[in-house]
Structure 1
Amino acid sequence: MAESRSPAAKSAAFAELSARLASAPHRPLFLAGTIAVLLSMAWWAVELTWMRFGLAGWPQPSIPPGWAHAMLIQYGLFPLFMFGFLLTTFPRWLGRPDLPWTRYVPVAGCVFGGYVLANVGLLDLPWLLKLGIAVMLAGYLIGVWTLAGVLRASVAERKSHARSCLAALSLGSLGLAVFLAYLFGAPADCALLAIKLGTYGLLLPIYFTVMHRMLPFFSGNVVAGYKVIRPDWSLPVVWLLLLAHLLLEWRSALGWLWLADVPLALAFAWHALTWQPWKAMRPGLLAVLHLAFAWLPVAFVLYAVQDVVYAASGHLILGRAPLHALGIGFFGSMLVAMVTRVTQGHSGRPLQMGAVAWLCFGLLQVVALLRIRAELGGDVYLWLVIAAYGWLLAFLPWVLRSAWIYLTPRADGKPG
């Protein structure tokens, strides 16, 4: 029988792996994100199973489960990928040198470490939930400070996209701080504000800002004769309308939400059409960016319909269908599309979707439709359970492949 490796060999292998993970911002943060993709939904799937079928002895969180689900997905899962992307691309957008590992590894450690602690804290361990959120907040503050330093040092002429992303991360930090205050006894309104900040102050502004910069750029690099359109009015107008939606929804002024959501639906639809997706259906890695973006106007059309009906009749239709068209349809699909692109490019592999990524993307469209279907009546919790386990099924092969790439050397032998 072969002898096991010596302690020195194990130590050397661990050091090599650690150095590899620290060699580029996307490696530790994307790896953490892939774990979070499964961890967040695994807890939620079991929680929904408990709600629908009952699970003897399943520990309950000290806060409403829906709030826990919203907070840890919005502030943990998606931002791990966003920090990985922004800590890589901020210096390139702003003409600055790449960040050293000492600036991004603490962000990864705190955000992911706090996220894991908070998830364990959902098992009726409220003190651990508080600790986890506090550690996550520390990671956010380190990340914001680091990116702000890059922005301050830059002499680049075009800084609007960087400023927009930094503003969103700052609001995300505020959201975590407000939620932490709730955990220590502040009113429940603080928790609701944190959840709204996560959707409309953190995730959506960053997603739209990155697409505003990158989607026309990617398309113009591939499609012959493609006209790059990146209007200057987009970011401030969308920001203003999103903040209006955030405040109106937080204060339960549902009868006035249409004032924000109808213009947002029109603005997002205008961008989706102006970026000419019919010209960008090849290659697949470009097509999925446009297909994922199409969910954004769809989500806000659903919001607008819901708002107008409520303003006219006082009846709230569609439930959380618009929110999950946004969360699963847009955020989830764009995560697969964008992270696959970055992973392929930064691992020295061809810029191709590949079978695993296509499978994940395709199944995720089904999951989004299933989650929307859950709001239309019938056995709602059964549909929720199916959608949750569908998410896990869709992502598992993609997560395993992606994690393997982050843990192994680049295919082209280059550093990073």
Structure 2
Amino acid sequence: MQFTQVKLSKREYFFAQPHQPFFALGMINALIFMALFIPAFRGLFDTNAKFLHAYSMIFLIFTNFFLGFLFTTFPRFSGTPPIEPRRYLMVFLLNFLASLVFLIGIWVPFLWFVAPIFMVLSLTLTLKEFYGIYQKCMMPKQDQYWLIVGIGSGAISNLLFLLSLIPCSCKSTVFYDTAVNFGIYLYLIFVALVVAFRMVPFFSHVMEYKKSRFLYASMFALFLLHSFVSGIYPKALFLIDLIAALVVAYEIKKINLPFPNKEPLLWILHLALFWLPTALFLGSITEFFESFFGWYSFKLPLHLLALGFLMTVLIGFGTRVTLGHSGNALRVDRAGILIFYFTQIVVLGRIMFSLAASFGHVAPMFDISATLWILLIIAWLWKYFEVLAFGKRLP
């Protein structure tokens, strides 16, 4: 008896695997909200440009990449069956509604109170799903535990962003500042760190590596300390980030990665991992000069982590997952390699903006830096969108 494989329609294929709708939404949001941030930053329309940029980046862009990857890999980490489509599609729907409402909220401000509520529901369902898997897991589950802790920190950050929108006569920015620190350090960077230290050695076939027992606990504690000290005694920030850089650098040295590596899908991940201690170290130096010499870097330490480490690792993981789950060979052609190189031009552009802006020359480096981000997203979508969304086979 012969069985023929049922051919899925484009719509059915698009929603058949969790990474596809989430990655697509994250990429589209990355284009839209950066394109809107440029005129908002310049004051061309009346909106809170800082909130627009911070919230959209953390919860409408990077969160979608995270969930697309984790809804695929978290069950595999745990040796449990894949998550049912109806479960991850409910989370996707909430993320889509949050994105749409937040976009309209740029011109209808009260809707910005609604978008975080959708994200509360999204993150709650995600945590419920992952905690259920964690309870069933019969394998070592330190990574799963800390991923849940990191996502929980993201949920707290989301609530703090919501509280920061409530008018207050005290003029305090404590809710907003804490929301940003929790969202970047305890959520985005920490979750990406856990995934990277789990997957990069595995993809690199470094099987003898054993993580330090307290790596995750120590990094979470340092990031938590960073989040609170930044508002209480910022002069100590450089020391905290320097210690974090040394902890991570020591751990990476233990892995003994095969770098340099001729395989692009590996060296982009290695490069991203090397960026983590590098960004923390450069950020520490920057924070020292900011605290003791009054230099303002326009959030350079944060952006070194968000672009050097986070963006690079997501482009690397995203490309690998997109190719591997579409039935394509895990190889990157010249155009794909150029996209990988271009990630570093985006990082360099943001560094140049901070240097220029610190001397009073905001334009044109702001526009150049933001445009480089947009060009990177366009290039990736041009190369891989049909592969991601419809399973196009590459030559």
TM over 0.5: yes
Do structure 1's residue 136 and structure 2's residue 119 form an aligned pair?
yes
Which whole-Å CA distance do the structure 1 matches of 2:22 and 2:163 have between them? 26
Any conservation in 2 of the 1:374–1:380 contact (CA below 8 Å)?
yes
**Counterpart of 1:179 in structure 2: which amino acid?**
F
Corresponding pairs, count: 382
Cα shift readout 1:333-352 (whole Å, capped 9, x = no counterpart):
11111100111111111111
Structure 2 residue corresponding to 1:27, chosen from 5, 10, 20: 20
Which whole-Å CA distance do the structure 1 matches of 2:110 and 2:335 have between them? 39
Deviation at 1:232, TM superposition (A): 2.1
Q: Which position in structure 2 is the counterpart of 1:396? A: 378
Do structure 1's residue 102 and structure 2's residue 100 form an aligned pair?
no
Identity of aligned residues (%): 26
Deviation at 1:319, TM superposition (A): 4.2
Any conservation in 2 of the 1:299–1:322 contact (CA below 8 Å)?
yes
Q: Which position in structure 2 is the counterpart of 1:335? A: 314
Do structure 1's residue 254 and structure 2's residue 234 form an aligned pair?
yes
Structure 2 residue corresponding to 1:39, chosen from 32, 46, 54: 32
Structure 2 residue corresponding to 1:93, chosen from 68, 74, 77: 77
Structure 2 residue corresponding to 1:350, chosen from 329, 336, 351: 329
Structure 2 residue corresponding to 1:276, chosen from 256, 260, 266: 256
Structure 2 residue corresponding to 1:380, chosen from 357, 362, 377: 362
Do structure 1's residue 292 and structure 2's residue 272 form an aligned pair?
yes
Deviation at 1:320, TM superposition (A): 2.1
Q: Which position in structure 1 is the counterpart of 2:58? A: 74
Q: Which position in structure 2 is the counterpart of 1:59? A: 45
Deviation at 1:16, TM superposition (A): 3.0
The answer for unaligned runs of 5 or more in structure 1 is 1-12, 52-57
**Counterpart of 1:32 in structure 2: which amino acid?**
L
Cα shift readout 1:363-409 (whole Å, capped 9, x = no counterpart):
22112112111222352232111110111112202123332123214
Any conservation in 2 of the 1:31–1:402 contact (CA below 8 Å)?
no
Deviation at 1:116, TM superposition (A): 2.7
Structure 1 residue corresponding to 2:220, chosen from 215, 218, 239: 239
1:63-212 maps to which residues of 2 (within 5 A)?
63=48, 65-122=49-106, 124-156=107-139, 158-185=140-167, 188-212=173-197
Cα shift readout 1:155-181 (whole Å, capped 9, x = no counterpart):
22x111111111111111111112112
Secondary structure class of the residue paired with 1:370: helix
Which whole-Å CA distance do the structure 2 matches of 1:266 and 1:247 have between them? 20
In angstroms, what is the RMSD of aligned CA positions? 2.2
Which whole-Å CA distance do the structure 2 matches of 1:381 and 1:194 have between them? 28
TM-score (norm 2): 0.90
Distance of aligned partners of 1:59 and 1:268 in 2 relative to their CA distance in 1, 3 Å threshold? same
Deviation at 1:73, TM superposition (A): 0.2
Q: Which position in structure 1 is the counterpart of 2:205? A: 220
Deviation at 1:210, TM superposition (A): 0.4
**Counterpart of 1:355 in structure 2: which amino acid?**
R
Structure 2 residue corresponding to 1:359, chosen from 322, 325, 338: 338
Any conservation in 2 of the 1:272–1:290 contact (CA below 8 Å)?
no
Deviation at 1:321, TM superposition (A): 2.1
Any conservation in 2 of the 1:165–1:209 contact (CA below 8 Å)?
yes
Which whole-Å CA distance do the structure 2 matches of 1:138 and 1:369 have between them? 37
TM-score (norm 1): 0.86
Any conservation in 2 of the 1:30–1:81 contact (CA below 8 Å)?
yes
Which whole-Å CA distance do the structure 2 matches of 1:93 and 1:202 have between them? 19
Secondary structure class of the residue paired with 2:294: coil
Cα shift readout 1:91-112 (whole Å, capped 9, x = no counterpart):
1111111111111001111113
Which whole-Å CA distance do the structure 1 matches of 2:343 and 2:392 have between them? 28
Deviation at 1:271, TM superposition (A): 3.0
Secondary structure class of the residue paired with 1:388: helix
**Counterpart of 1:246 in structure 2: which amino acid?**
S
Cα shift readout 1:236-272 (whole Å, capped 9, x = no counterpart):
11111111111111x2411111331111111222233
Secondary structure class of the residue paired with 1:231: coil
